[in-house]
A and B are shown apart, each in its own frame.
Chain A
Amino acid sequence: MSPLPASAALALGDDALVLSHRLGEWAGYAPVLEEELALANISLDLLGQARILLSLVGDEDELAYLREERAFRNLQLVEQPRGDFAHTIARQLYFSSYQRLLYEELARGDDALAELASKAVKEVAYHRDHAEHWTLRLGDGTAESHQRMQQGLNALWRYTDEVFEPIEGLSVDWPTLRERWTEQIAHVLQQATLTMPSGPQGDAWTAGGGRQGVHTEPFGRMLAEMQHLHRSHPGAAW
């Protein structure tokens, strides 16, 4: 096996952990029971990935619960508040499409990341399927569902540039990955009668520095909630 790119495991592990937490916030709030279960299941898959990835770097609990905001290497996309259901689906579409393409490529490697990627890519395929079907249903649904879906897509678009920033330690053909991602998203949105957001993917004020530890304001509040129990009761167990 090739030596492990720890920085990469941290970046991908943080993506999975943070998105898992954001999806978990839907417990008790999802529009229907089936979706509550679906989002919780996707969250659980991501938490499983995060546990394996973070364990490649160090102690999973210490990394998840005792790091400060600036030490996290996740994308700013995954830390954004969950918003309404359409907003969450827009993020799921953007992220699961990216994660599937990335994991497909990583699965071809020969390091510890490849083992995880070839396992997780199958789960992520279901996540993407779920996001795609909801995008079609909301986009091609009522006037209100269409408008909310479009709003979610537009609002999160600015965070999608950072997604293709090369991760240290990974040999991935990023421009090709970006091209395929853009094609896939455009295809789904067209079928869903939605419009591909046209603004810049990055923006002056969203530096897109998640991989360098620069995060947006809502992330600090999310971490406070996520880490509060562990910090208040060190070593607590069920």
Chain B
Amino acid sequence: MVTAGPVEETPLERKLREAAGSVPDPELPVISLAELGVLRGLRVTGPGRVEVELTPTYTGCPAIEAMSADIERVLHQHGIPEVTVRTVLSPPWTTDAISADGRRKLKEFGIAPPRTTGPATNGPVAVDLAIRCPHCGSTRTTLLSRFSSTACKALHRCESCLEPFDHFKELS
């Protein structure tokens, strides 16, 4: 399909994009793909035919295949028989793509959200140098390991409440 410049999203595309975006992350089911910021776009390319662009958090992220399968399933349920999910690398995903809601949900789930690295798009700029314990809010925390249960997280321990916790590492 050849288009001149960005095309406005149709109501159908919007509905389907929201459906695809509501798919939970397979590894962190508290957060949706839209909140994680990995859904790059969705286009209806023909009758019953949709193309979705997805970007991986990390190059080797094994969740990308589960994400693609889940998106296909959800769009099939919305009456789209032919779904193509393409993986795009550029521009690279950063943790700044995680929405404010997404950050709040990660914290409630017990994962310290990544600190924002780029300029804030709206609202006051939060200056937060230490990793804050998602359980008790203390900033007295220690890094235990740079890599945790997945490539995108690091393992920390809170020196106040003594609980270990994961931190979603900044990727800028």
Contacts and interface: CB of A to CB of B under 8 A. Distances in A.
Interface residues of B, number: 23
Given A41-B151, A126-B169, A48 B61 contact: yes
Interface of B: 56, 58-62, 89-93, 144-151, 155, 169, 171-172
A34 B169 CA distance: 16
A38 B59 contact: no
A138 to B, nearest CB: 15
A55 to B, nearest CB: 10
Nearest to B145: A34
B148 A119 contact: no
Given A119-B89, A122-B171, A126-B169, A45 B58 contact: yes
Interface residues of A, number: 26
Given A34-B147, A115-B89, A119-B89, 6 more contacts: A37-B155, A41-B150, A44-B60, A47-B60, A48-B58, A118-B90
A122 B58 CA distance: 9
B150 to A, nearest CB: 7
A88 to B, nearest CB: 14
Q: Which of A41, A46, A130 has the most CB of B within 10 A?
A: A41
A22 to B, nearest CB: 15
Given A37-B147, A38-B145, A48 B59 contact: yes
For the complex of A and B, 7 pairs with smallest distance between CB atoms: A48-B60, A48-B59, A34-B145, A38-B147, A41-B147, A44-B60, A119-B92
B90 A35 contact: no
Contacts of A122: 92, 171-172
Contacts of B61: 48
B62 to A, nearest CB: 7
A185 to B, nearest CB: 20
15 contacts: A37-B145, A37-B147, A38-B147, A41-B147, A42-B147, A45-B59, A51-B60, A52-B59, A115-B90, A118-B89, A118-B90, A119-B59, A119-B89, A123-B151, A130-B147
